[in-house]
Structure formats: structure tokens, C-alpha cells
Amino acid sequence: MHADIEAIVQDHYEMHDFSGVCLVKRGDDVLFHEAYGLAHRGFQIPNTLSTRFDTASITKLFTAVAIWQLIDRGLIGLDTAVMPYLEIAETAISDDVAIFHLLTHTSGIADDADEEAGEDYELLFVDKPNYSVRETGDFLPQFAFKPSLFAPGEDARYNNCAFVLLGLVIEKATGVDYRTYVQQQVFARAGMTDSEFCAMDGINRDLAEGYKAIEQENGSIVWRKNIYSYPPIGSPDGGATVTALDLDRFVRSIFSGDLVTVASREMLRSPCILVDEWLRIRLQGCIGWRDPGDREGRPEPRGCHSVDLLSRNRYVEHRSRQPGLQCLEHAAGPEVVAGQG
């Protein structure tokens, strides 16, 4: 089996510029664990098994687990009205928006960059520096005063800033900042010893640089760093830096009950919004197809492609709005596949 997996990943490396780490396990047995490509193209530093990568919107899963921990403690509920709870008034966000709506992309609130409408996230930082957005509250001016797209619960549309609001809820309920809470109550409890929120202007060990492939008119590819494309440090909607092994530890900790109660775990796994006969949304902030084959001939949401991490029987992939980033995980019975790049 090792040779078969190696052939698949090698093809992805050679034909699709895969740069990252692939981990495949069956139960506790490692079937395949290899690193490909470069962590730093300038100095030609290769990725290793301990290299950490920006996991983009997979971070939403960490945020969702943090919210469920607060629900388990009775500090909030799925029906908690978000803006009154946060004591934020005079925005365009309806007071009817609840935690449930934010988790399931059914809030109707405007996003800072509407990916489903084809808006480019990088353009947010043409007129203001990306380093001015570091704390969770810094995101509010980018979306809170834009008109809503629909009333809460009336439709579903992928939304990054819904998770910014969830991050603010976490901060309000716990009295600590979002990143500290996730570091202590998600990463540490799951044994994710190599995971944190690395700032692009910090000195970080074993961290891969982010790059975007730019195709020239003659068909050649030029690589560009993505350091000006998004905020300099991770936030509730994306940007946690982890290893492939830590992603595996995270999923296993969900199923073992180390992070949330059994009841919350089952809620995390259960479909709760059926958009139509092929698209469903779970209470983890993720959108998933019933089967990879269902995607054929269907338009795909721009922000979240086939993400269904905790169902144990689904293909999982996320192509980030952050240029050059992609994260994939597959959980099927006793087998777990984690890939980053």
C-alpha cells in the first residue's frame, strides 16, 4: 500500500506542484508519512515531517470546537443572539443572528470579501496595510456595516466573518483572547504540541513560507510570497499553523471525547442544514457533499470545497482564499489522511 500511496502523491507533486506533508494512518499504524517540496523557495529549504503550515479555514474547526466547549459549559447556547450578547449595536447585522446561524453559514451577514461572488480577498489590503488587522475586533469595520444578503436562516452562503463573530463570542465568554483560548483549550488538550498561531512578522521555527503561483503570458510560472495577501497572524476564520501529525491528533481527540462531550461530538458530526439534495452543512462551520462524485457538474462554493471533517466517511479539502494555501484531510473508519501544502 505504501507504494500505491507514494505513486499518487508523487504524481500530485510532479504534476500539480504539491509542496507539503502527506500522512496516512490506519488505526495507530502509519502507512505513509512523507514531506515534499520547499518550505522556503529562496533558500531552497525542503519541507520536513515537522514543518508547520498555515491551514487556512481548517482553523474554523478549531473555532467551532471552542464554541462547543462553551456550550458544554452552559456559557452560551446555539440560540444565543450574537450581537446583543456582544453588546455591539448600530451595525448592519441583525440582532436575530444566533450562534447556530454563524456555525452553519446561514446568518446572511455580509462577508469582508464575498468569495462566492468572486471577490478577491487580497484587494482588501490595497488601501490599508494588512498588518493593521491583528486582533479579532480589527475585522469588524470590514463587514459589520455592509448590508446583509438575506435574513438569518433563510439561505446558506459560505461566510468567513461569521467566524470572526464566533471568535468575539469566545473572547467575551472566557475573558481571554481568541488565540490564547484555542492554544490552551484546543491545541494543548488535543496534544497538538507543534500547533500555534505564528505571526508572519515573528521568528518561527519549522514554518513553511506561503507562495502563490502566478502564470505568465507565455505559460511559465513565477512564484510570489503571499505576505501581503491576508492579515499577518491567524484569526478565528483562518490561519492556525499546524503539522500533519497535529491534524491527526485533533481529529482523534474529537472522537475520543478529550475536547467536547459525546453529545456535542455527535452534533458536530450530524448534518443540520440541507441546502438541496446534494449539499449539506454541519455544526462545525463546514460544507460537504454527500459523496465526492456529487461534485461532478455542480458549481462549487469558492471558499470551502468538500469540507466535512468529522463525519468519518467523507473526502475533505479546503482551497483557501489565502493564495497558495490548501489543506486536505480524509477520515474514513479507522483510516485518517492528512495533507497540507
pLDDT at site 266: 86
Asked if residue 182 has pLDDT above 90, the reply is yes
Neighbouring-strand partners of residue 224: 212
Distances (CA, A) of 293 to 12, 18, 272, 285: 20, 23, 21, 22
What is the Cα–Cα distance from 44 to 2, expressed in whole angstroms? 27
What is the Cα–Cα distance from 216 to 1, expressed in whole angstroms? 39
DSSP codes of every residue in 271-283: EEEE-SSSEEEET
Environment class of residue 117 by beta-carbon count within 10 Å: exposed (0-12), middle (13-18) or buried (19+)? exposed
- pLDDT-derived band at 188 (thresholds 50, 70, 90) equals very high
Pick from 36-40, 67-71, 256-260, 324-328: least confident:
324-328
Asked if residue 59 has pLDDT above 80, the reply is yes
Note whether 269 and 262 are within 8 A (CB).
Answer: no
Environment class of residue 132 by beta-carbon count within 10 Å: exposed (0-12), middle (13-18) or buried (19+)? exposed
What is the Cα–Cα distance from 16 to 34, expressed in whole angstroms? 17
54 membership: H or E segment, kind and range: strand 53-54
Environment class of residue 200 by beta-carbon count within 10 Å: exposed (0-12), middle (13-18) or buried (19+)? buried
DSSP codes of every residue in 281-335: EETTTEEEESSGGGGTTSPPPSS-SS--TTSSEEEEEEE-SSTT-EEEEEEETTE
Instruction: Supply φ then ψ for residue 24, to 5 degrees.
Output: -130, 125
Which range marks the domain in which residue 75 is found?
2-340
Query: Average pLDDT, stretch 290-296?
Result: 40
Phi-psi map region of 114: left, alpha, beta (phi>0 left; psi -120 to 50 alpha): beta
pLDDT at site 196: 97
Pick from 42-46, 255-259, 314-318: least confident:
314-318
What is the Cα–Cα distance from 125 to 230, expressed in whole angstroms? 8
Give the number of domains in the chain. 1
Asked if residue 287 has pLDDT above 90, the reply is no
pLDDT at site 165: 98
pLDDT at site 23: 93
Asked if residue 312 has pLDDT above 80, the reply is no
Query: Average pLDDT, stretch 273-297?
Result: 50
* Domain CATH number, residue 13: 3.40.710.10
Q: What is the pLDDT of residues 208-257, one digit of tens each?
A: 999 988 889 898 889 999 888 889 999 999 999 999 999 999 999 998 99
> What count of other Cβ atoms lies within 10 Å of the Cβ of residue 150?
13
Asked if residue 317 has pLDDT above 80, the reply is no
Q: What is the pLDDT of residues 99-146, one digit of tens each?
A: 999 999 999 999 999 877 888 888 899 989 999 999 999 999 999 999
- 31/334: higher pLDDT: 31
- 280/26: higher pLDDT: 26
pLDDT at site 80: 98
**Edge-to-edge strands, sheet with 286-289:** 271-274, 279-282, 286-289
pLDDT at site 283: 60
